Amino acid sequence: MCGICGEVTFDGSAAGGCIAAMTERMHARGPDAGGAFMQDRVAFGHRRLSIIDLAAASQQPMVDPQLGLAIVFNGCIYNYRQLRSALAAKGFRFFSEGDTEVILKAYAEWGPRCVERFCGMFAFAIWERNSGRVVLARDRLGIKPLYYTERAGSFRFASTLPALLAAGDVDTSIDPAALHHYMSLHAVVPAPLTILKGVKKLPAATICTIEPDGRRREETYWQLEVGPRSQDRSMTEADWQDAIRFTFGRAVERRRVADVPVGVLLSGGLDSSIIVALLAAQGQNDLRTFSVGFETVGELKGDEF
């Protein structure tokens, strides 16, 4: 859980006047370190929670002068070691051991569609020095948040609404359409809407490209397909059990990628218990589990309902 934010200007003014306030507002999301990058019309801010590559070489914003790229990234790329090996075979040299730099190199090699190669959860922004272009992307299911607001002559983004509001000059009135969805769709507001009129959120599985003149385009790089597949029709109940066991186990194995101790939040249900069992079967040592409870729970009186 890190925090990213940024500002891009199109009216000739320098960006970055609001980055300090936005970054500080996300301190709780990244208590281990913070940083900022400013270059003329682009400014990035980051708060870090160190999980992969605890060394200073993986601090953000990360700049690669040789590639002419800068990035702020929130999330985890589970297959970054495999991607790193593939990129090293293509001649790329690395100065850190984490997944952030792998995104930069992958972007340099494969462009914005590099996201199709990532297994993980992510929201990031990349600045291209040579073109002045800024590219934002979000993971397939929208696990990592990315909010933005557009003003005359600028575009701002952040991991949280409070960080975006810290920059000021945002319409915070309630969006009637978003409120309608919230009250009728199990408290869900679909992207790009948010509950605030002046704030939008980048949809899941979306790449957003912002040109230096302010032109913006979005493309969806993945869609969930729901329905029966022809190869599934011959599967028996035992086949389905094996398939679920394999898929669940692979998902748990991928999420063991960390340079800090791994823990599990026990919800009291079967899913978290199965995760602990799979981690143990996969050889995870010194596993810590956590539960949330309350020592005292007050009783409500009838007239308090």
DSSP three-state, residue 37 = strand
Look up 208 and say whether it is catalytic.
Answer: no
pLDDT band at 53 (very low <50, low <70, confident <90, very high): confident
Look at strands 3-9 and 206-210 and give their pairing: unpaired
Phi, psi of 14 (to 5 degrees): -75, 145
Q: Where are the domains of the chain?
A: 3-220, 230-290
Q: What is the mean pLDDT of residues 278-285?
A: 90
Q: How far apart are CA 163 and CA 19, in angstroms?
A: 9
Please pick, among 2, 5, 76, 208, the residue that the annotation labels catalytic.
2
Q: How far apart are CA 171 and CA 153, in angstroms?
A: 16
Q: What is the pTM of this model?
A: 0.91
CATH number of this structure's domain 3-220, picked from the four choices 3.60.20.10, 3.40.50.2000, 3.90.870.10, 3.30.70.260: 3.60.20.10
> How much of the chain, in percent, has pLDDT values that exceed 70?
97
pLDDT averaged over the chain?
93
Statement: residue 302 has pLDDT above 60: no
CB atoms within 10 A of CB 69: 20
Q: How far apart are CA 128 and CA 60, in angstroms?
A: 16
Is 175:44 a contact under the CB 8 Å cutoff?
Answer: no
Q: What is the mean pLDDT of residues 225-243?
A: 91
